[in-house]
């Protein structure tokens, strides 16, 4: 990227070697549709492109050398769908392509306040015909089915022919393992098949159907051309490609403007005529959208973003590259997050095929805090999603031979477990506790008691039950949980992972208290739940017994928590020897990594952040000092957490260094894999590093406490927090901190130990 733009991303030179990386960075999305930032006209050798619909996937079989009970037999992955971006342009017969001829005055930009991707350039064809080219693209936040493009071509030095071909192309494939083993899945390339394509009445249509997941997709297109010269129009439908062709007798300095409207809608094959109903409705919508016109959606886009930034912005004075990184990250989170209760936010958002479009614990522990404290309405949809998956999680529990409770899958889109490697997948039972934890955080901050009563208690009980299934009381009277993997994926299948045990105890405690609350305040609801779930006093008391007796290993000599029972029995990792061999998982057999004291990511340190008040400062410091030395941060989920805890412990320089690593991870491609998609958990981790790290915010017993610190490089910063129906503006500079209640009733907060009552 060339210039630091605090409200956007700007590219002033075309670097075709970074074309695919930049296609990720300039990707657009609205939580439903996502499309990579490839040029309308493409490149000659088209690089990594893709358009995705959140929650739209197909299955593939998982193959194992040896398959055991409970191993998932199939997985599913997000599909690359009909390409609606393509616009080919011929200038006097020559194909417009920036790899040929000469390109001048190039600028590509995404503006985070407008939500429109723009590109401008001057192109001189190999024959010498010069044009000015401008394009705009947006995926509407207002109308979730809409992808809108506009191109403007002006001949500079000639009168002649300009041909524009605007198309939708259903002949698309995912990346397969052959193309790239890190990204590709076991797809054959025929997972999404075009079953109908047509063009009439200026409307192009492609209907596709998945091979095995019973999902369908309709994509429709219409175009509008404005020009002064003569123009003839033709339509073609050929080989899964539907196009409108405009042949224009172009005149010097007279612009030709094409507006392209594309709508996507998916459906599930529940009845035979669903395809016709969806497609008829989509055509009605297309006409409405065309009537509203381009400007309308551009204005709505801005209105939507005005509100988003009003709720969410973090403003930083003193370091523009940080400011840019922070806003870039928040913008991508907004573009990626599903908000219909049926979809979620994948590890790579809707920007690429890495991690197959799967949703992980990343949502609950990293991403939800951002939405809970800035856009609680979106947070609600994310917790609703987990409720909608509860039945599938119960089924998964049964598959894993548990009599009671629900086991949420480690990675999934539709609720089925997709993880084929159980030591770093299914064994991460902590996801159950993570979901339970974040639901409580959501309820606390939003005061959404309805959700608690109608859905939350059920999730808490079903997740808590699983701990009783997999844990046991030993002779010491303590509750132990064996054979699990904690968040650190470089240590697998261990007994009593401290993170897991504390979080499980928290899950059990919250389930216990929620049931008691329900019983006292909503006795009828309690009866209903007790009947439906078959819970009784004995079981509830067992929750209590397990959490107060949870076993937590502790090393009395070192005065440190081992990550699990056997962690300190393992030898130190030879960091000298592994120099230059990161990430370790690409260079060593997993068993060699598991055998040593080496961590991929924050595990215990994460625990001491999220269950903050259970540990005193001295303990946190000892643990931090120990684990920092053995953590590789090979996962992008790590540095943000180390930054937060470094701030809490007064290691301000470290806090800043870790934060800097996290804040520009994607823009600067620090993990060298942003081409496959952005890192959404890390993006939200950046937000956490500021709010919980520099801002020192903690939520304790329903109240907010702040302990702000101003990083040396900054002159000031401010952020906004939504909490219990209020919006609080926190501003920090050299003089100190100011809290302002922007809306809602008075509220008590703490500035360190000082109690403050905020009034408007
Ligand atoms: C991390 C996991 C994370 C996953 C998806 C892995 O590298 O170790 O904690 O859930 O990436 O982001």
pLDDT in tens, 526-582: 999 999 999 999 999 999 999 999 999 999 999 999 999 999 999 999 999 999 999
Q: What is the pLDDT of residues 632-670, one digit of tens each?
A: 999 999 999 999 999 999 999 999 999 999 999 999 999
Question: Do 247 and 348 fall into the same domain?
Answer: no
Residue 179 lies in a domain: yes
Known binding residues for substrate are 361-362, 600-601
Give the pLDDT confidence of 280-326 residue by residue, as tens digits: 999 999 999 999 999 999 999 999 999 999 999 999 999 999 999 99
Q: Is the peptide bond prior to 583 cis by the omega test (within 30 degrees of 0)?
A: yes
The predicted-structure confidence for 678-710, as pLDDT tens digits, reads as follows 999 999 999 999 999 999 999 988 999 999 999
The mean pLDDT of 713-734, rounded to a whole number, is: 98
User: Given ligand 1 and candidates 333, 346, 347, which is best to mutate, with the most ligand atoms within 8 Å of its CB?
Assistant: 347
**What's the mean pLDDT in 421-445?**
98
Q: Give the mutation target among 631, 681, 683, 685 for probing the ligand 1 site: most ligand atoms within 8 A of CB.
A: 681
Residue 184 has pLDDT above 70, yes or no: no
Name 8's Cβ contacts closer than 8 Å, sequence gap at least 6: 109, 110, 111, 112, 113, 324
Amino acid 523: pLDDT: 97
Taking residues 267-272, report their average pLDDT.
Answer: 86
Strands 160-169 and 203-210, bridge-based pairing: unpaired
Please give the pLDDT value at position 174.
92
Global model pTM greater than 0.75 = yes
Q: In this structure, is residue 236 part of a structural domain?
A: yes
Split at pLDDT 50, 70, 90, the class of 427 is: very high
Question: Domain check: are 317 and 187 in the same one?
Answer: no
Instruction: List pocket residues of ligand 1, CB cut-off 6 Å.
Output: 347, 355, 360-362, 487, 489, 600-601, 635, 637, 681
| Comparison of pLDDT for 575 and 3, the residue scoring more | 575
Name the residue of 635, 666, 685 to mutate for ligand 1: max ligand atoms within 8 A of Cβ.
635
In a domain, 95, yes or no: yes
Number of H helices and E strands in the chain, helices first, is 19, 28
Q: Which residues participate in catalysis according to the annotation?
A: 489
Q: Which two tokens stand for residue 708?
A: 């702000």
What CATH number has the domain bearing residue 747? 2.60.420.10
- Indicate whether 262 and 124 sit together in one domain: yes
Same domain for 29 and 85, yes or no, is yes
The ligand 1 atom nearest the CA atom of 489: 8
Residue 162 DSSP code: E
For residues 372-397, give the mean pLDDT. 98
Give, using CA atoms, the residue closest to atom 1 of ligand 1: 635
pLDDT at 208 over 90: yes
Residue 606: phi, psi to the nearest 5? Answer: -65, -45
The boundaries of the domain holding residue 683 are: 313-352+652-760
| Confidence grade of residue 176 (pLDDT, cut at 50, 70, 90) | confident
- Strands (E) in 638-708, as ranges, are 698-700, 703-706
Confidence of residue 200 (pLDDT cuts 50, 70, 90): confident
CATH number at residue 279: 2.70.98.40
Which atom from ligand 1 is nearest to the alpha carbon of 358? 5
Mean pLDDT of all residues in the chain? 96
Q: How many domains would you assign to the chain?
A: 2
The reply to whether 254 and 125 lie within a common domain is yes
Q: What is the pLDDT of residue 529?
A: 97
The answer to whether residue 467 sits within a structural domain is no
Residue 750 has pLDDT above 90, yes or no: yes
**Which residue carries 């936010």 as its tokens?**
345
For the cut 80, the answer to whether the pLDDT of residue 180 exceeds it is no
Q: What is the pLDDT of residues 590-611, one digit of tens each?
A: 999 999 999 999 999 999 999 9
How many whole angstroms from 347 Cα to the centroid of ligand 1?
A: 8
State yes or no: pLDDT of 423 exceeds 60. yes
Determine, yes or no, domain membership for 239: yes
Average pLDDT for residues 740-749, to the nearest whole number? 97
Q: What pLDDT shows up at residue 574?
A: 97
Shared-domain flag, residues 45 and 179:
yes
369: left (phi over 0), alpha (psi -120 to 50) or beta: alpha
Same domain, 162 and 271: yes
Is the domain of 232 the same as that of 343? Answer: no
Check whether residue 233 and residue 337 sit in a common domain: no
Same domain, yes or no, for 116 and 60? yes
- Angle at Cα 45 formed by Cα 40 and Cα 50, nearest 5°? 50
Burial letters for 664-691: b for 16+ Cβ neighbours within 10 Å, e otherwise?
bbbbebbbebbbbbbbbbbbbbbbbbbb
Percentage of the chain surpassing pLDDT 70? Answer: 99
Same domain, 216 and 342: no
Distance 632 CA to ligand 1 centre (A): 14
Confidence of residue 270 (pLDDT cuts 50, 70, 90): confident
Query: How large is the average pLDDT for residues 437-446?
Result: 98
Whole-number Å distance, alpha carbon 635 to ligand 1 midpoint, is 6
Q: Does the structure show a pLDDT above 70 at 232?
A: yes
222 and 336 in a single domain? The answer is no
């Amino acid at each position: 990227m060339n210039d630091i733009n605090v409200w956007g991303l700007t590219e002033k030179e075309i670097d075709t070697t970074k074309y695919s990386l930049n296609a990720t960075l300039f990707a657009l999305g609205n939580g439903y549709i996502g499309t990579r930032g490839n040029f309308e006209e493409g490149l000659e050798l088209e690089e990594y492109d893709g358009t995705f619909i959140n929650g739209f996937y197909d299955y593939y079989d998982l193959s194992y050398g040896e398959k055991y009970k409970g191993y998932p037999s199939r997985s599913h992955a997000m599909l690359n769908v009909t390409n609606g971006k393509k616009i080919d342009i011929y200038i006097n017969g020559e194909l417009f392509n920036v790899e040929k001829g000469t390109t001048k005055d190039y600028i590509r930009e995404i503006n985070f306040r407008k939500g429109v991707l723009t590109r401008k350039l001057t192109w001189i064809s190999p024959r010498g015909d010069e044009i000015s080219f401008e394009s705009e693209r947006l995926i509407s936040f207002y109308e979730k089915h809409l992808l809108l493009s506009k191109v403007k071509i002006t001949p500079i030095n000639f009168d002649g022919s300009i041909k524009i071909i605007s198309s939708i192309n259903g002949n698309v494939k995912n990346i397969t393992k052959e193309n790239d083993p890190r990204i590709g899945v076991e797809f054959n390339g025929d997972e999404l098949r075009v079953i109908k394509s047509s063009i009439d009445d200026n409307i192009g249509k492609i209907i596709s159907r998945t091979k095995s997941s019973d999902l369908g997709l309709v994509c429709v297109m219409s175009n509008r051309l404005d020009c002064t010269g003569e123009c003839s129009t033709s339509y073609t439908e050929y080989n899964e490609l539907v196009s409108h062709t405009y042949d224009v007798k172009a005149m010097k300095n007279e612009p030709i403007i094409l507006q392209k409207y594309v709508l996507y809608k998916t459906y599930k094959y529940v009845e035979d005529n669903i395809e016709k109903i969806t497609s008829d409705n989509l055509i009605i919508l297309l006409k409405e959208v065309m009537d509203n016109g381009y400007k309308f959606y551009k204005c709505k886009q801005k209105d939507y973003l005005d509100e988003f930034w009003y709720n969410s912005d973090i403003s930083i004075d003193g370091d523009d590259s940080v400011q840019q990184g922070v806003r870039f990250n928040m913008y991508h989170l907004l573009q990626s997050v599903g908000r219909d209760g049926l979809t979620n936010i994948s590890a790579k958002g809707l920007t690429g095929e890495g991690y197959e479009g799967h949703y992980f614990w990343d949502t609950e522990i990293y991403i939800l805090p951002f939405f809970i404290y800035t856009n609680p309405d979106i947070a609600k949809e994310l917790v609703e999603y987990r409720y909608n998956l509860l039945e599938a999680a119960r089924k998964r529990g049964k598959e894993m031979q548990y009599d009671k409770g629900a086991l949420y899958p480690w990675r999934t889109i539709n609720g089925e477990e997709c993880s084929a490697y159980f030591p770093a997948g299914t064994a991460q039972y902590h996801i159950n506790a993570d979901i339970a934890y974040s639901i409580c955080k959501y309820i606390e901050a939003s005061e959404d008691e309805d959700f608690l009563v109608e859905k939350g208690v059920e999730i808490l009980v079903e997740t808590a039950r699983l701990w009783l299934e997999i844990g046991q009381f030993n002779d010491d009277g303590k509750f132990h949980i064996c054979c699990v993997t904690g968040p650190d994926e470089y240590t697998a299948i261990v007994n009593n992972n401290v993170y897991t045990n504390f979080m499980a105890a928290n899950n059990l405690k919250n389930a216990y208290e929620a049931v008691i609350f329900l019983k006292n305040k909503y006795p009828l609801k309690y009866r209903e739940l007790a009947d439906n779930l078959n819970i009784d006093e004995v079981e509830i008391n067992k929750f209590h017994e397990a959490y107060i007796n949870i076993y937590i290993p502790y090393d009395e000599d070192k005065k440190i928590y081992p990550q699990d029972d056997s962690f300190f029995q393992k030898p130190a990792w030879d960091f000298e020897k592994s120099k230059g061999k990161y990430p370790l998982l690409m260079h060593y057999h997993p068993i060699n990594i598991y055998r040593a004291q080496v961590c991929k990511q924050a595990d215990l340190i994460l625990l001491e952040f999220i269950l903050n008040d259970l540990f005193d400062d001295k303990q946190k410091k000892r643990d931090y000092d120990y684990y920092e030395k053995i953590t590789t941060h090979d996962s992008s989920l790590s540095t943000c957490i180390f930054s937060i805890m470094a701030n809490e412990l007064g290691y301000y320089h470290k806090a800043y260094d870790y934060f800097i690593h996290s804040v520009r991870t994607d823009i600067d491609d620090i993990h060298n894999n942003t081409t496959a998609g952005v890192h959404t958990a890390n993006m939200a981790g950046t937000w956490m590093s500021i709010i919980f790290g520099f801002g020192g915010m903690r939520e304790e017993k329903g109240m907010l406490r702040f302990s702000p610190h101003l990083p040396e490089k900054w002159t000031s910063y401010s952020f906004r927090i939504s909490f219990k129906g209020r919006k609080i503006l926190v501003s920090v500079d050299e003089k100190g901190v100011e809290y302002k209640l922007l809306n809602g009733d008075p509220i008590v907060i703490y500035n360190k130990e000082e109690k403050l009552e905020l009034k408007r």
